[in-house]
Chains A and B, each alone.
Chain A
Amino acid sequence: MSVEISASGDVADRLAAVGALRRLADRLEDAAVEEAMRSGWGWPQVAEALGVTRQAVYKKHAKRLIAAGVALRRRSG
């Protein structure tokens, strides 16, 4: 993945870029959080690594990962 931010160009393209980057970030987050939790990370570490609260990361991912059969460490762990 190469990154080279350009502030120029058509505003419609730049708005579309923001939407696409959000979708990309969501996809990367879903995959990375799942991988981390599968390999034994705890919610606090994942939250800190993402720069969000552990409540936020738990709310966003716990249901999905439990349904996926990921053995989760205790929320406080």
Chain B
Amino acid sequence: MSSFDHYLNRILIAAAAEAHAEGSATTEAHHLLLAIAQDGSPLLAAAGLDHAAVRAALDREFALSLAAAGVRVDGGLPRATPLLAGSPQLGATAKAALERGFAAVQRKRDCRPGHVLLGVVLTPVGTVPRALELAGVDRAGLAEDVRREIAGGGDDR
């Protein structure tokens, strides 16, 4: 496996663990974002997004989205025992993010870790952009930084 394959595999495993911890049956784009932040991304860190900050932004997005339907959850959600056997399937938003990230790549060997982050950051609608906006992140600027990092040969780790 190439070093990129190792990176992607590590991120997918970490993202599945995030999904699992949430009791989600699928790994989604926001789980990829959590995994990338947890793995350590200088670009995310520079934008003020460590794992705790991403988690906080996602929690806020969840609460605000529920509030749009007039629902407020007090005192947290009830906990259920998560499924231990097997990994969550890759969900629609995670697939779309990965496809988006790799769309710019001509050959598979040109894939870099930055492409995974790029695909997530470029997610146009839904949980990820809403959470990033709540965290005060300039998505277009961040995407540009990621592109520059990829072009510069850095691997954003």
Main secondary structure of the interface of A (DSSP, over half): helix
Main secondary structure of the interface of B (DSSP, over half): loop
Interface pairs A-B: 3 shortest CB-CB = A4-B70, A30-B80, A31-B78
Q: How many A-B residue pairs have CB under 8 A?
A: 86
Residues B83 and A1 in contact, CB atoms below 8 Å apart: no
The interface of chain A, by Cβ under 8 A from chain B, is 1-6, 9-10, 12-21, 23-24, 26-28, 30-34, 63-65, 67-68, 70
In the bound complex, residues from chain A placing their C-beta under 8 Å from that of B127 are: 16, 19
Residues B65 and A2 in contact, CB atoms below 8 Å apart: no
Q: Known interface pairs A27-B80, A67-B83, A67-B85. Does A12 touch B125 (Cβ–Cβ under 8 Å)?
A: yes
Interface residues on chain B, size class? 20 to 34
In the bound complex, residues from chain A placing their C-beta under 8 Å from that of B106 are: none
